[in-house]
Amino acid sequence: MAGGGLVHPILISEELGLDRIVLNGQSLEVRHIFYTYVALAILVIIGLIVRRQLKMVPTGAQNVMEVLIGGLENFVIDNMGEVGRRFVPLLCGIFLFILVMNLIGLIPGFDAPTANLNTTVAMAIPVFLYYNYLGIRRWGPGYIKHFMGPMAALAPFMLILEFVSHLVRPVSLSFRLFGNIRGEEVILIIFFSLAPLFATLPIYFLFGLAKSLQAFIFFMLAMVYIKGALEHAH
Protein backbone atom coordinates (compact mmCIF):
# COMPACT_ATOMS: atom_id res chain seq x y z
CA MET A 1 0.00 0.00 0.00
CA ALA A 2 1.98 2.95 -1.29
CA GLY A 3 -0.47 5.53 0.12
CA GLY A 4 0.06 4.31 3.67
CA GLY A 5 3.80 4.02 3.26
CA LEU A 6 3.68 0.25 3.81
CA VAL A 7 5.29 -2.16 1.38
CA HIS A 8 5.09 -5.92 1.68
CA PRO A 9 8.62 -7.20 2.43
CA ILE A 10 8.48 -9.82 -0.32
CA LEU A 11 7.31 -8.90 -3.77
CA ILE A 12 7.52 -11.49 -6.52
CA SER A 13 6.96 -10.28 -10.04
CA GLU A 14 4.87 -12.05 -12.65
CA GLU A 15 8.07 -13.06 -14.42
CA LEU A 16 8.33 -16.61 -13.12
CA GLY A 17 10.20 -19.47 -14.74
CA LEU A 18 12.79 -22.19 -14.30
CA ASP A 19 15.70 -19.80 -14.84
CA ARG A 20 15.02 -16.76 -12.65
CA ILE A 21 12.50 -15.08 -10.40
CA VAL A 22 12.36 -11.42 -9.46
CA LEU A 23 12.31 -10.91 -5.70
CA ASN A 24 12.10 -7.39 -4.27
CA GLY A 25 13.27 -6.03 -7.60
CA GLN A 26 16.31 -8.34 -7.76
CA SER A 27 16.67 -11.11 -10.33
CA LEU A 28 17.54 -14.42 -8.66
CA GLU A 29 18.70 -17.55 -10.47
CA VAL A 30 16.68 -20.59 -9.41
CA ARG A 31 17.39 -23.09 -12.18
CA HIS A 32 19.85 -25.05 -10.03
CA ILE A 33 17.27 -25.22 -7.22
CA PHE A 34 14.65 -26.67 -9.57
CA TYR A 35 17.00 -29.41 -10.81
CA THR A 36 18.11 -30.14 -7.25
CA TYR A 37 14.49 -30.99 -6.46
CA VAL A 38 14.36 -33.06 -9.65
CA ALA A 39 17.36 -35.05 -8.37
CA LEU A 40 15.63 -35.56 -5.02
CA ALA A 41 12.48 -36.74 -6.78
CA ILE A 42 14.49 -39.22 -8.85
CA LEU A 43 16.11 -40.67 -5.73
CA VAL A 44 12.76 -40.96 -3.96
CA ILE A 45 11.18 -42.69 -6.96
CA ILE A 46 14.11 -45.13 -7.26
CA GLY A 47 13.87 -45.85 -3.53
CA LEU A 48 10.14 -46.56 -3.76
CA ILE A 49 10.61 -48.82 -6.78
CA VAL A 50 13.37 -50.81 -5.08
CA ARG A 51 11.35 -51.05 -1.86
CA ARG A 52 8.33 -52.47 -3.67
CA GLN A 53 10.43 -55.14 -5.39
CA LEU A 54 12.49 -56.40 -2.44
CA LYS A 55 13.38 -60.08 -2.80
CA MET A 56 15.65 -62.52 -1.01
CA VAL A 57 17.44 -63.05 -4.34
CA PRO A 58 17.83 -59.52 -5.71
CA THR A 59 17.15 -58.76 -9.35
CA GLY A 60 16.95 -55.65 -11.49
CA ALA A 61 17.07 -52.33 -9.67
CA GLN A 62 17.44 -53.99 -6.27
CA ASN A 63 20.50 -55.86 -7.46
CA VAL A 64 22.09 -52.69 -8.84
CA MET A 65 21.45 -50.73 -5.64
CA GLU A 66 22.69 -53.54 -3.40
CA VAL A 67 25.92 -53.83 -5.37
CA LEU A 68 26.41 -50.06 -5.31
CA ILE A 69 25.56 -49.51 -1.63
CA GLY A 70 27.37 -52.68 -0.59
CA GLY A 71 30.51 -51.59 -2.41
CA LEU A 72 30.44 -48.15 -0.80
CA GLU A 73 29.79 -49.68 2.62
CA ASN A 74 32.76 -52.04 2.27
CA PHE A 75 34.94 -49.13 1.18
CA VAL A 76 33.97 -47.09 4.24
CA ILE A 77 34.49 -49.98 6.68
CA ASP A 78 37.81 -50.95 5.11
CA ASN A 79 39.08 -47.40 5.62
CA MET A 80 37.41 -46.43 8.91
CA GLY A 81 36.86 -49.75 10.63
CA GLU A 82 33.59 -50.78 12.26
CA VAL A 83 33.07 -47.25 13.56
CA GLY A 84 32.50 -46.22 9.96
CA ARG A 85 29.36 -48.32 9.72
CA ARG A 86 27.34 -45.63 11.51
CA PHE A 87 28.31 -43.11 8.84
CA VAL A 88 27.45 -45.30 5.85
CA PRO A 89 23.90 -43.87 5.40
CA LEU A 90 25.22 -40.31 5.43
CA LEU A 91 28.16 -40.95 3.11
CA CYS A 92 26.16 -43.10 0.69
CA GLY A 93 23.42 -40.47 0.67
CA ILE A 94 25.99 -37.82 -0.23
CA PHE A 95 27.37 -39.96 -3.04
CA LEU A 96 23.98 -40.83 -4.55
CA PHE A 97 22.67 -37.28 -4.30
CA ILE A 98 25.72 -35.77 -5.99
CA LEU A 99 25.82 -38.56 -8.57
CA VAL A 100 22.22 -37.97 -9.66
CA MET A 101 22.71 -34.19 -9.72
CA ASN A 102 25.83 -34.64 -11.86
CA LEU A 103 24.21 -37.06 -14.30
CA ILE A 104 21.15 -34.85 -14.82
CA GLY A 105 23.40 -32.57 -16.83
CA LEU A 106 23.78 -35.28 -19.48
CA ILE A 107 20.09 -35.05 -20.35
CA PRO A 108 19.59 -32.62 -23.27
CA GLY A 109 17.90 -29.46 -22.03
CA PHE A 110 18.73 -30.16 -18.39
CA ASP A 111 21.42 -28.59 -16.20
CA ALA A 112 23.46 -30.26 -13.48
CA PRO A 113 22.74 -28.43 -10.20
CA THR A 114 26.37 -29.05 -9.22
CA ALA A 115 27.43 -26.82 -12.13
CA ASN A 116 26.28 -23.95 -9.90
CA LEU A 117 28.56 -22.90 -7.05
CA ASN A 118 25.62 -22.32 -4.72
CA THR A 119 24.81 -26.03 -4.80
CA THR A 120 28.35 -27.25 -4.17
CA VAL A 121 28.85 -24.77 -1.31
CA ALA A 122 25.57 -25.98 0.22
CA MET A 123 26.97 -29.54 0.10
CA ALA A 124 30.45 -28.70 1.42
CA ILE A 125 29.58 -26.52 4.42
CA PRO A 126 27.45 -29.16 6.22
CA VAL A 127 30.26 -31.70 5.78
CA PHE A 128 32.73 -29.20 7.28
CA LEU A 129 30.46 -28.42 10.24
CA TYR A 130 29.56 -32.06 10.83
CA TYR A 131 33.06 -33.53 11.03
CA ASN A 132 34.20 -30.73 13.34
CA TYR A 133 31.12 -31.31 15.49
CA LEU A 134 32.02 -35.01 15.72
CA GLY A 135 35.58 -34.16 16.70
CA ILE A 136 34.50 -31.71 19.42
CA ARG A 137 31.87 -34.09 20.75
CA ARG A 138 34.35 -36.95 21.00
CA TRP A 139 37.46 -35.16 22.24
CA GLY A 140 36.05 -32.03 23.84
CA PRO A 141 38.70 -29.32 24.35
CA GLY A 142 41.31 -31.93 23.39
CA TYR A 143 40.16 -31.65 19.79
CA ILE A 144 42.48 -28.65 19.51
CA LYS A 145 45.39 -31.14 19.51
CA HIS A 146 44.38 -32.12 15.96
CA PHE A 147 45.54 -28.66 14.91
CA MET A 148 48.83 -28.52 16.83
CA GLY A 149 51.02 -31.01 14.99
CA PRO A 150 53.31 -33.75 16.42
CA MET A 151 55.89 -31.44 18.08
CA ALA A 152 55.24 -28.99 20.91
CA ALA A 153 57.86 -26.59 19.54
CA LEU A 154 55.94 -26.30 16.26
CA ALA A 155 52.50 -26.08 17.88
CA PRO A 156 51.97 -22.29 17.44
CA PHE A 157 52.94 -22.44 13.77
CA MET A 158 51.00 -25.66 13.11
CA LEU A 159 47.91 -24.28 14.87
CA ILE A 160 47.69 -21.43 12.37
CA LEU A 161 48.56 -23.67 9.42
CA GLU A 162 46.06 -26.38 10.33
CA PHE A 163 43.34 -23.85 11.11
CA VAL A 164 43.71 -22.28 7.67
CA SER A 165 43.95 -25.73 6.08
CA HIS A 166 40.63 -26.78 7.64
CA LEU A 167 38.94 -23.54 6.61
CA VAL A 168 40.04 -24.16 3.03
CA ARG A 169 38.46 -27.62 2.95
CA PRO A 170 34.88 -26.51 2.19
CA VAL A 171 36.25 -24.10 -0.42
CA SER A 172 38.23 -26.92 -2.02
CA LEU A 173 35.26 -29.30 -1.93
CA SER A 174 32.98 -26.67 -3.45
CA PHE A 175 35.24 -25.44 -6.24
CA ARG A 176 36.55 -28.88 -7.22
CA LEU A 177 33.06 -30.25 -7.82
CA PHE A 178 31.74 -27.04 -9.36
CA GLY A 179 34.76 -26.52 -11.65
CA ASN A 180 34.77 -30.05 -13.03
CA ILE A 181 31.04 -30.29 -13.62
CA ARG A 182 30.78 -26.77 -15.04
CA GLY A 183 33.67 -27.43 -17.40
CA GLU A 184 32.06 -30.64 -18.64
CA GLU A 185 28.75 -28.85 -19.20
CA VAL A 186 30.45 -26.18 -21.31
CA ILE A 187 32.36 -28.76 -23.37
CA LEU A 188 29.17 -30.72 -23.93
CA ILE A 189 27.40 -27.62 -25.23
CA ILE A 190 30.29 -26.99 -27.61
CA PHE A 191 30.10 -30.55 -28.92
CA PHE A 192 26.34 -30.21 -29.41
CA SER A 193 26.91 -27.12 -31.54
CA LEU A 194 29.63 -28.76 -33.66
CA ALA A 195 28.36 -32.31 -34.15
CA PRO A 196 25.04 -34.18 -34.36
CA LEU A 197 23.72 -36.01 -31.31
CA PHE A 198 24.92 -39.51 -32.27
CA ALA A 199 28.48 -38.22 -32.68
CA THR A 200 28.52 -37.09 -29.04
CA LEU A 201 27.67 -40.53 -27.60
CA PRO A 202 31.31 -41.43 -26.80
CA ILE A 203 31.63 -38.10 -24.99
CA TYR A 204 28.50 -38.95 -23.01
CA PHE A 205 30.16 -42.16 -21.82
CA LEU A 206 33.37 -40.38 -20.81
CA PHE A 207 31.52 -37.58 -19.06
CA GLY A 208 29.32 -40.13 -17.27
CA LEU A 209 32.47 -41.71 -15.85
CA ALA A 210 33.93 -38.32 -14.94
CA LYS A 211 30.73 -37.21 -13.20
CA SER A 212 30.62 -40.48 -11.25
CA LEU A 213 34.25 -39.99 -10.27
CA GLN A 214 33.55 -36.48 -8.98
CA ALA A 215 30.72 -37.81 -6.79
CA PHE A 216 33.05 -40.50 -5.45
CA ILE A 217 35.82 -37.97 -4.71
CA PHE A 218 33.41 -35.82 -2.67
CA PHE A 219 32.19 -38.94 -0.85
CA MET A 220 35.76 -40.11 -0.17
CA LEU A 221 36.98 -36.73 1.11
CA ALA A 222 33.97 -36.46 3.43
CA MET A 223 34.87 -39.90 4.79
CA VAL A 224 38.53 -38.90 5.27
CA TYR A 225 37.55 -35.73 7.14
CA ILE A 226 35.22 -37.64 9.46
CA LYS A 227 37.86 -40.30 10.06
CA GLY A 228 40.48 -37.68 10.89
CA ALA A 229 38.18 -35.96 13.37
CA LEU A 230 37.55 -39.21 15.23
CA GLU A 231 41.16 -40.39 15.36
CA HIS A 232 43.63 -39.63 18.14
CA ALA A 233 45.73 -36.52 17.55
CA HIS A 234 49.33 -37.34 16.76
Instruction: For the chain, give the mean pLDDT.
Output: 83
CA dihedral 154, 159, 164, 165 (to 10 degrees): 70
Is residue 214's pLDDT more than 60? yes
Tell me the pLDDT tens digit for each residue of 74-119.
999 999 999 999 999 999 999 999 999 999 988 877 889 999 999 9
Closest C-alpha among 99, 102, 96 to residue 185: 102
Is residue 232's pLDDT more than 90? no
**E-state strands within the chain:** 20-23, 26-29
Q: Given this model, what pLDDT does residue 218 score?
A: 97
- Other residues' Cβ atoms within 10 Å of the Cβ of residue 160: 11
User: Residue 96 to residues 16, 40, 195: CA-CA distances in angstroms?
Assistant: 30, 10, 31
Give the rounded distance of the alpha carbon of 41 from its chain centre: 16
pLDDT band at 167 (very low <50, low <70, confident <90, very high): very high
Report if pTM > 0.75: yes
pLDDT band at 36 (very low <50, low <70, confident <90, very high): very high
pLDDT band at 21 (very low <50, low <70, confident <90, very high): low
Q: What is the mean pLDDT of residues 136-143?
A: 89
Q: Given this model, what pLDDT does residue 142 score?
A: 84
Q: Given this model, what pLDDT does residue 186 score?
A: 84
Confirm if 111 and 31 have CB atoms less than 8 A apart: yes
Q: How far apart are CA 70 and CA 95, in angstroms?
A: 13
